[in-house]
Amino acid sequence: MNIIDELSWRGLINQQSDEEGLRKLVDEKAISLYCGMDPTGDSMHIGHLLPFMTLERFAKAGHHPYIVIGGATGSIGDPSGKKAERPMQTMDQVNHNVEALSNQANKIFSNFTMVNNYDWTHQIGILDFLRDYGKLFNVNTMLNKEIISSRLEVGISFTEFTYQILQSLDFLTLYRQHNVQLQVGGGDQWGNLTAGLDLIHKAEGQDAKVYALTIPLLLKADGTKFGKTAGGAVWLDPKKTSPYEFYQFWFNQDDKDVINLLKKFTFLSKEEIDKLADAVKTAPEKRLAQKTLAEEVTKFVHGEEALKTAEKITEVLFSGEIQELTTEEVAEAFHGVPSEEISSDPINLVDLLIAVNVDKSKRQAREDIQNGAIRINGERLTDTTTEIDPKDSFDGKYIVIRRGKKKYFLAKIN
């Protein structure tokens, strides 16, 4: 299957500058292509996965992907999709984010080439910038780009106005130095991508074979934007979103969304995904499609060992056998649950529930204990006089409290 046909089947194509031209090009030879990422934070989130996994698909088809880390563009701010100016980061913060993102991307996408657009922009003087590049951009054309026109009512600084010139310079530089012929980006980047095509054609000639392709905004079946949770973004940094939380995010996807997500976020074949689609219809209670999705994406981002740990934690929490977890696994499993710090001194069970905010009153705590609603480290306790020694569990660092069937709390021992 031609890579363009595969992307189309997976629903990964929004806009193309020249569909037939690109299709012919990738049939004729292996090409170089790229996608950019600005260092607005020190970790990627799952919103970054879609374009970069698209590049990975090109790589598996024999092509050569580049990731451009925006050390230059990230220092001025992309106006796309923003209602107001982004707060300017210090260069120290930009450089910190560049290093963190580069290390993260290299671990996940080990066969990509990583470059930083600061390397080819920081020595360009203002006069050279205006004469060599600014002269090739028509202000009227720039104003008509959606990324700019959407901001005119509230205002846009000259700094952000020039963003598309810098991004276009990325494409031109990569074309000249590495024969990069395709830029991939999100749907909101179409104006920036086409500006890059225009610059190359003006600088190198209309016969330059360069192309742009955007990926659609990913929506859930109910029309809401995919990728956010009640707690915010789902990060690829395991310190921000643990592999267990990451696994659970994918496992908890709705039946209406899971097949679409399998197409976009896994490398499973059409035949494999069709079988999972049948399983959703015939045995939805088994959640085989969701389990496969969680396994595939977690393994791709965090590796085999992290996947095994996430699956173990999932099984243990389902069975309630908390004592089977290691101290490190407890920290991962209960990363986001309500927690309080307590001392290492032995504590009465009722007082423990109050200290960790499991219950608001001693009367309620006693009732919960006597009714069998309280489990400490997996063990149901019904005696209100029980003394808990924090040093007895999980290397003296944690006490796991469960109230009812699903409500967990964590006592951290200081």
Q: Domain limits of the chain? A: 3-215, 228-319, 339-413
What pLDDT does 82 receive? 65
Query: Chain centroid to CA 32: how far?
Result: 24
- How sure is the predictor about 231, in pLDDT bands with cuts at 50, 70 and 90? low
- Burial degree of 97 (CB within 10 A; 0-12, 13-18, 19+): buried
What pLDDT does 142 receive? 85
The per-residue pLDDT for range 9-47, each reduced to its tens digit, is 999 999 999 999 999 999 999 999 999 999 999 999 998
Domain 339-413 falls under CATH 3.40.228.10: no
Expressed in angstroms, the distance from the first to the final Cα of the chain is: 58
Contact call for residues 38 and 100 (beta carbons, < 8 A): no
The set of catalytic residues is: 40, 45, 48, 82, 86, 167, 188, 225, 228-229
What pLDDT does 85 receive? 76
Q: What is the mean pLDDT of the chain?
A: 92
- Which residue type is seen at 387? E
Nearest partner of 33 among 180, 169, 173, judged by Cα: 180
SS3 content of the chain, % helix, strand, coil (to 5): 50, 15, 35
- Burial degree of 26 (CB within 10 A; 0-12, 13-18, 19+): buried
Query: Phi-psi category of 298—alpha, beta or left, where left has phi over 0 and alpha has psi -120 to 50?
Result: alpha
The per-residue pLDDT for range 176-193, each reduced to its tens digit, is 999 999 999 998 889 899
Rounded to two decimals, what is the model's pTM?
A: 0.86
Q: Is 163 annotated as a binding residue?
A: yes
Q: Is 16 annotated as a binding residue?
A: no
Local structure of 238: helix, strand or coil: coil
The per-residue pLDDT for range 245-299, each reduced to its tens digit, is 999 999 999 999 999 999 999 999 999 999 999 999 999 999 999 999 999 999 9
Contact call for residues 46 and 227 (beta carbons, < 8 A): yes
Q: Is the pLDDT at 321 greater than 90, yes or no?
A: no
Q: Is the pLDDT at 81 greater than 70, yes or no?
A: no
Domain 3-215 falls under CATH 3.40.50.720: no
Domain 228-319 falls under CATH 1.10.240.10: yes
Pairing verdict, β 379-380 and 339-342:
unpaired
Q: Is 228 annotated as a binding residue?
A: yes
- Burial degree of 170 (CB within 10 A; 0-12, 13-18, 19+): buried
The per-residue pLDDT for range 45-65, each reduced to its tens digit, is 998 999 999 999 999 999 999
What pLDDT does 228 receive? 63
What pLDDT does 110 receive? 84
Comparison of pLDDT for 385 and 147, the residue scoring more: 385
Contact call for residues 217 and 186 (beta carbons, < 8 A): yes
The per-residue pLDDT for range 325-341, each reduced to its tens digit, is 999 999 999 888 899 99
Backbone torsions φ then ψ of 208, nearest 5 degrees: -65, 125
